[in-house]
Amino acid sequence: MAGWTSPDDALNWLPLFRFKPWDSLPHHGGLLEPRKGLTVNQVSMAVGDFNLDNFSDIAMAYATEAGARVTLLDGAALSLTLQTGSFEGGYFPNQAILADALISDPTLAQADDLSLSSGFNLYGQIALENFLLTAQKKGGDATTYTLQLEAGHFIATSEPIENDHSTNSDHSTHGNNGSTIPSAAPHHSNSGANRAPKNADDVITNLQPGNLLPVHIVDINLASVAPNGPGVSITPLFGGTMATGGVLVSGSTVGNTFVFAQGNGVNGTKSTSPTLVDSADQLAIGVNGINLVNSEDFGTPEAPAVDLFPKLKKIALNLNGGVQEIRLPFASDLQPVERKKLMDEIRLI
């Protein structure tokens, strides 16, 4: 990692710092050992404010024999070191990292490619940014693990809400000895904005429980990879007047697609599939079709007006934060009473 500054509006650049973050972190021996034959495609980084302290933190991941290791560098520690010239820690005194965890899962262990991204991708997401780890194997599907820190008053856990100890565990039991990938009918937690299967955290070992912030799995999604393509990319995004969370999915079999969250297992629409673009609680909108208008966007004179009104609640990002499609008939095809009713429906939306 390196940083530069420019004294003359980007005409010239001067180095500020340069360091190798893993030089200060043990990564040899046992479960910490990088996968044999590790490639650049199995190492990834992303930037985000993962503990809500207004500093940009750095998430790092690399493949291990059992899955993947995820480490979060503390942006506060980096900034203070840069400003003062000496290391004094950040969120934690004398600590340069926020979290350090191993995820032991067969899907990750078999992945040829790992990629990290960050942002707000869930329905009703709390103020903490998520970091998304996407794993894919050549010729197979992509699996995205949405991860979140247990930071401050924000509690993220895939444990059932009735479990009083769910927020204090290091989640290192590994009791299921198998994949966390949900079945076609996953069982969601009751603990708020969380779509992950129950006990998803069993595959996570937080390496310094009690000293660092625990990492939790709050969602798991699947995406089909387009054949002969570069692979799937999952990028969190906002949409609409209420900043509805979602992702941009590229490289999948359905093409580049915006997918906006419509539920979280407790509020909103319920999940019907672990596949991102097939679940009822995810609204998929093709990127190429966003700016196109054709006959399907309008009603027809033959269609009774009463059948057109429900279609008002179906593209665009409406004022109440939902993502819905509005299909309108030609106003000239409606009688005055019907036209007034149509306008009233639009105002309600």
Q: Give tens-digit pLDDT for 247-279.
A: 999 999 988 999 988 888 778 888 888 898 888
Report if pTM > 0.85: no
Dihedral sign computed on CA atoms, order 177, 181, 182, 183: negative
Between CA 76 and CA 83 the distance in angstroms is 10
SS3 of 71, please? Answer: strand
Q: How far apart are CA 295 and CA 339, in angstroms?
A: 19
Burial of 202 (0-12, 13-18, 19+ CB in 10 A): buried
Q: CA distances (Å), 150 to each of 155, 180, 299, in order? A: 5, 20, 49
pLDDT at position 340 = 59
Say how far apart CA 329 and CA 334 lie, in whole Å.
8
Which H or E element spans position 84? helix 75-84
Q: Tell me if residue 274 falls in helix, strand or coil.
A: coil
Sites in the chain below the pLDDT cut of 50:
155-193, 298-334, 348-349
Residue 104 pLDDT: 95
Residue closest to 273 by CA, chosen among 203, 230, 224, 237: 224
Q: How many other β-carbons are positioned within 10 Å of the β-carbon of residue 231?
A: 18
Task: Determine the pLDDT at residue 342.
Answer: 53
In this prediction, residue 271 carries a pLDDT of: 87
Q: What angle do CA 149, 151, 154 make, to 5 degrees?
A: 100
Closest CA to 151 of 80, 217, 20, 53: 53
Question: Among residues 116, 137, 135, 134, which one has the least CA distance to residue 60?
Answer: 116
> pLDDT at position 184, please?
34
Contact indicator for 213, 99 with CB cutoff of 8 Å: yes
What DSSP string describes 216-227? Answer: EEEEEEEEPBPT
In the prediction, which pLDDT does 269 show? 85
Q: How far apart are CA 96 and CA 19, in angstroms?
A: 13
Q: Phi first, then psi: what are they for 289, rounded to 5°? A: -95, 0
Sequence-separated (6 or more) residues with CB below 8 Å from residue 267: 123, 124, 193
Tell me the C-alpha distance between 211 and 198, whole Å.
25
Q: Name the residue type at position 291.
A: N
pLDDT of residue 159: 43
- The answer to whether residues 229 and 136 touch, using CB atoms and an 8 Å cutoff, is no
Bridge-based pairing state of the strands 142-149 and 204-206: unpaired
Kindly calculate the radius of gyration of the chain based on its CA atoms and give it in whole angstroms.
23
